[in-house]
C-alpha cells in the first residue's frame, strides 16, 4: 500500500482534513472575537473617551485614524516577513503572506488617509494640504498600489514572487518615513497624537487619561485582532483560488 511518511494515504488525508477543520474553527473563533473587539474599541472611542474642548466630537476620529495606521503597519511588517522568508526558502506560502500583507495594509492605510481628510475639513478648513505627513502618507499608499501593479505585470510566477518580495521589503521605508516625518520636519502642521507636536502644528490636543486608554485599546484591537483576522481570511482566499486554478488545469 502506498504511504506518505509511513502513514497510509487515506489516514494521511484524514489527518490533513482534520487539521484544516481545526484551522477553520480557530479562524471563525478569531472572527467572532474580532467583531466583539471592534465593538469594544468603538465604545472606547465614541463614548468612554472624554470630548476635546477645542475640537469637539470630530476629535474622536483619531481613535480610528491612528489605529488604522497601526493596523496597516502590522500588515506591512507581515509583507516584509513574508518577502524575506520567500527569498530564503522559495516556499509559496510566504509569498502569499506578503501579498495578503500588502492588500490588507493598503486598505487600512487608505482608511487612515480618508479619516485624516475627514478630520482636516473642519479643523484646517480643507480636505487636503501638501503637509509633509499627508504627502508621505499618499506616497506610501501609491508605493503599495504599485506593488500590486508590479505583480500583475510579470507573467513568470517565480520571477513575479522574487521581484515582489524585494519590492515589499524596500517599501517599508515609506511606512517608517510616514510615521517619523512629523518628528523630524519642523514645518509640518500635522499634530503628533503621541508625544509633543511641532510649534506650528494645527489641531493638536492634550490627551486625558480616558483618551490615552481609548487610543491604546483601539490600537490594540486593530493590531491584534482586525489585521490578523483580515490577513488570515485573505490567505485562505488565495489558497482557495490556487486550488481552483489547479483543478481547472487538471480538467483542461
**DSSP character at residue 48:** I
Cell numbers describing residue 173 = 521605508
Q: Is the dihedral of CA 79, 83, 84, 85 positive or negative?
A: positive
pTM: 0.88
The percent of residues above 70 in pLDDT, for the chain, comes to: 88
Per-residue pLDDT for 136 more than 80?
yes
Q: What's the pLDDT score for residue 7?
A: 52
Return all residues near 38 (Cβ < 8 A) that are at least 6 apart: 221, 225, 226
Domain segments of the chain: what residues?
A: 3-251
Cell numbers given for 110: 487608505
Q: Average per-residue pLDDT in the chain?
A: 88
CATH class of 3-251: mainly alpha
pLDDT digits (tens, 9 = 90+) for 192-221: 776 666 666 666 667 788 888 999 999 999
- pLDDT score recorded for residue 2: 46
The mean-pLDDT minimum among 6-15, 18-27, 45-54, 154-163 falls in 6-15
Segment 29-70, tens digit of pLDDT: 999 999 999 999 999 999 988 887 788 888 899 899 999 999
Residue 245 in this model has a pLDDT that exceeds 90: no
Amino acid at each position: 500500500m502506498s504511504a506518505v511518511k509511513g502513514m497510509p494515504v487515506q489516514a494521511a488525508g484524514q489527518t490533513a482534513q482534520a487539521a484544516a477543520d481545526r484551522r477553520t474553527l480557530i479562524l471563525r473563533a478569531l472572527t467572532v472575537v474580532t467583531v466583539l473587539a471592534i465593538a469594544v474599541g468603538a465604545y472606547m472611542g465614541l463614548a468612554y473617551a472624554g470630548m476635546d474642548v477645542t475640537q469637539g466630537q470630530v476629535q474622536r476620529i483619531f481613535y480610528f485614524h491612528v489605529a488604522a495606521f497601526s493596523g496597516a503597519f502590522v500588515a506591512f511588517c507581515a509583507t516584509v516577513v513574508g518577502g524575506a522568508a520567500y527569498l530564503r526558502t522559495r516556499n509559496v506560502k510566504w509569498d502569499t503572506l506578503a501579498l495578503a500583507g500588502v492588500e490588507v495594509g493598503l486598505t487600512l492605510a487608505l482608511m487612515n488617509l480618508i479619516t485624516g481628510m475627514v478630520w482636516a475639513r473642519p479643523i484646517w478648513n480643507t480636505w487636503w494640504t501638501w503637509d509633509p505627513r499627508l504627502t508621505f502618507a499618499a506616497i506610501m499608499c501609491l508605493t503599495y498600489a504599485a506593488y500590486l501593479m508590479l505583480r500583475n505585470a510579470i507573467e513568470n510566477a517565480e520571477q513575479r514572487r522574487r521581484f515582489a518580495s524585494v519590492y515589499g521589503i524596500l517599501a517599508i521605508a515609506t511606512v517608517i518615513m510616514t510615521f517619523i516625518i512629523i518628528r523630524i520636519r519642523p514645518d509640518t502642521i500635522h499634530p503628533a497624537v503621541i508625544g509633543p507636536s511641532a510649534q506650528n502644528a494645527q489641531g493638536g490636543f492634550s490627551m486625558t487619561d480616558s483618551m490615552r486608554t481609548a487610543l491604546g485599546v483601539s490600537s490594540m484591537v486593530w493590531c491584534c485582532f482586525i489585521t490578523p483576522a483580515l490577513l488570515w481570511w485573505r490567505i485562505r482566499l488565495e489558497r482557495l483560488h490556487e486550488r481552483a486554478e489547479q483543478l481547472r488545469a487538471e480538467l483542461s
